[in-house]
Amino acid sequence: MGSGRRQSPGSPPAPARGACLFLLLCLRLGAPCPQACECSDQAGAVAVHCSHSDLQEVPADIPADAELLKLDANRISRIPDGAFQHLQHLRELDLSHNAVETIGPAAFSGLAGGLRLLDLSHNRIRRIPKDALGKLSAKIRLSHNPLHCECALQEALWELKLDPDSVDELACHTSVQEEFVGQPLIQVLDSGVSLCSAHHKTTDVAMLVTMFGWFTMVVTYIVYYVRHNQEDARRHLEYLKSLPSAPSPKDLGSPVH
């Protein structure tokens, strides 16, 4: 007698059961997983892991019900407008350790309400795109980016909810004022320095230089115009003097002897 367990008449064969489970998993994830990524269901939350996948752009076929998306440690350099607009359930987005330089003003549209954490650390961001990040309520990590400390950066920081655990690691890679280069950004701002006052001062000086240039041009033109007219008047006067004088009426009426 064989020792194998007899399959009940009502149960599907093992390969069919496996296919059903795979189908259910796909339905649960909502869409096929991107080729370079791994998708899993963690306590009812769909997680998409695309770390270390040599990606150069954000995948377009991320499942719409993803709540965690890890795109860290890739070669992504640009986040275009609407890159995540279909991911309305996303709670955490990790874009750290990439080469991000450019972020579209509507790059994170559709995520304003639900996103809780956005990690943009260890990238190549020089200027914070206020239009892209200002509407997010998520904690934002921006440490280890070559930030340019200027008025626009200071104004953008007022509108962002920075992650308190990484805010001390923000530093001025370059600055409108040389003394701030290499200093922690929080230390610069806590010192009471306004990067915007330096910006306005530079703008005022530029305006004064421009106005002085225009004033100099106007004065030069007026001087040239006056001198040119004086020269013309002098030449005209000399010409008149050189003309032979007309005989007077008295000379015309005298008899000829």
The pTM score is 0.67
The full length of the chain comes to: 257
How far apart CA 208 and CA 214 sit, in angstroms, is 10
What is the rounded (10 degree) CA torsion for 190, 196, 199, 203?
Answer: -150
The residues facing 93 across adjacent strands are 69, 118
22 has a pLDDT exceeding 50: no
- Of 175 and 220, the structure prediction assigns the larger pLDDT to 175
The third-level CATH classification (topology) of the domain covering 38-194 is: 3.80.10
Q: What is the pLDDT of residues 227-242, one digit of tens each?
A: 767 777 777 667 666 6
For 137, residues 6+ apart whose C-beta sits below 8 A from its C-beta are: 112, 113, 115, 161
| pLDDT confidence tier of residue 48, bands split at 50, 70 and 90 | very high
pLDDT value, residue 125: 97
59 token code pair: 């995948």
243 has a pLDDT exceeding 80: no
How far apart CA 142 and CA 156 sit, in angstroms, is 12
